[in-house]
Amino acid sequence: MESLTLFGRPPVPETIAITGASRGIGRALAIEYADAGRTLFLSARKRERLQDTAEDCRAFGAAVETAVVDVTDADAVRSWLLDAEAVKPIDLLIANAGVSSGTGPNREPETEAGLQKLFDVNFQGVVNTIQPIMPLMAERKRGQIALITSAAGYRGVPQSPGYAASKAAARVYGEGLRAYLAEDGVFITVVSPGYVETDMSGRLAGPRPFLISAEKAARIIRRGLAAGRGDIVFPFAFRLVPLAVSLLPARFGDRLLRRYPYGIAEDK
């Protein structure tokens, strides 16, 4: 489900920067946007996998520049993005990099270190990515920023309380920026996917209802961004389920969510 557009449509982006582009949704988005005449600035932590993505994008005619960057390093992210801006102003910035964590298979609690990493990457990493480019887009009255969060950010889940909280923080941050930057002509879109076939989701215990491929997710996101949507939630059921659970008394909603198996492998 995609929200109604509040103001116009953004221009077709000629220059796109994507974090976490070496795998999953980030890689799929890079390839989805890899058209002739388009410039892609791609970053990730793993050089080899990032280069694989870059070569695939170049095969479709895109000009590609890569950088090995950890989004928790604010100075490194700023330097990468401002260097990219000096080459060609960024039309679309996609803050995609993220990690997962959760409770253990025997209900072992999330560790303090694991929780800190979740917020360092999933929230502060998004802030680090957006802050250098946001004022430049506002100054030129043109640009679009997408925050890749998660449908898990709409309701705390016992299998991964910290992950859900980190994604909720990023979602709410994006919603605030969306209203704040509207009069500056900068489009902000909060993207909240459900289960997508990625390395990250493959580490989850239990079923993954309404699972879709990363390639299909990228197509949905691209369509929503082109339409200037304020938020993109998919599949449709992942808009309805958190709403339905929120309408139940808390103890009943919690009981339903506890039915899912526990256990998730740490992100590497």
Residues 29-67 have pLDDT tens digits of 999 999 989 999 999 999 999 999 999 999 999 999 999
> CA nearest 91: which of 33, 10, 6, 32?
10
Instruction: Report, in angstroms and rounded to the nearest whole number, the Rg of the chain calculated over CA atoms.
Output: 18
How do 143-148 and 39-44 pair as beta strands? unpaired
Handedness of CA 233, 247, 110, 102 (dihedral sign): negative
CA dist., res. 65 & res. 183, Å (int): 31
Binned at pLDDT 50, 70 and 90, residue 105 comes out as low
CA dist., res. 267 & res. 46, Å (int): 13
What local confidence, expressed as pLDDT, does residue 203 receive?
A: 54
How do 15-18 and 39-44 pair as beta strands? parallel
What local confidence, expressed as pLDDT, does residue 241 receive?
A: 63
What value does the mean pLDDT take over residues 90-107? 84
CA dist., res. 166 & res. 83, Å (int): 29
Query: Is 195 an active-site residue?
Result: no
Structure tokens at 138: 């506002």
What local confidence, expressed as pLDDT, does residue 240 receive?
A: 64
Q: Is the pLDDT of residue 246 over 50?
A: yes
What local confidence, expressed as pLDDT, does residue 100 receive?
A: 83
What local confidence, expressed as pLDDT, does residue 209 receive?
A: 56
What local confidence, expressed as pLDDT, does residue 200 receive?
A: 59
What local confidence, expressed as pLDDT, does residue 76 receive?
A: 98
- 21-38 pLDDT, tens digit per residue, is 999 999 999 999 999 899
Catalytic residue among 163, 173, 195, 262: 163
What value does the mean pLDDT take over residues 205-234? 87
When the pLDDT of each residue in the chain is averaged and rounded to a whole number, the result is: 86
Is the distance from CB of 65 to CB of 258 less than 8 angstroms?
Answer: no
pTM, 2 dp: 0.86
Give the count of beta carbons closer than 10 Å to the beta carbon of residue 31. 19
Give the count of beta carbons closer than 10 Å to the beta carbon of residue 255. 11
What local confidence, expressed as pLDDT, does residue 261 receive?
A: 46
- 169-215 pLDDT, tens digit per residue, is 999 999 999 999 999 999 999 999 988 886 654 455 455 556 889 99
What local confidence, expressed as pLDDT, does residue 4 receive?
A: 39
Please give, one letter per residue, the 3-state secondary structure of the chain.
Answer: CECCCCCCCCCCCCEEEECCCCCHHHHHHHHHCCCCCCEEEEEECCHHHHHHHHHHHHHCCCEEEEEECCCCCHHHHHHHHHHHHHHCCCCEEEECCCCCCCCCCCCCCCCHHHHHHHHHHHHHHHHHHHCCCHHHHHHHCCEEEEEECCHHHHCCCCCCHHHHHHHHHHHHHHHHHHHHHHHHCEEEEEEEECCEECHHHHCECCCCCCCEEHHHHHHHHHHHHHCCCCEEEECCHHHHHHHHHHHCCHHHHHHHHCCCCCCECCCC
Structure tokens at 16: 């796109």
Domains in the chain (CATH in brackets) are 15-257 (3.40.50.720)
Give the count of beta carbons closer than 10 Å to the beta carbon of residue 37. 8
What local confidence, expressed as pLDDT, does residue 235 receive?
A: 78
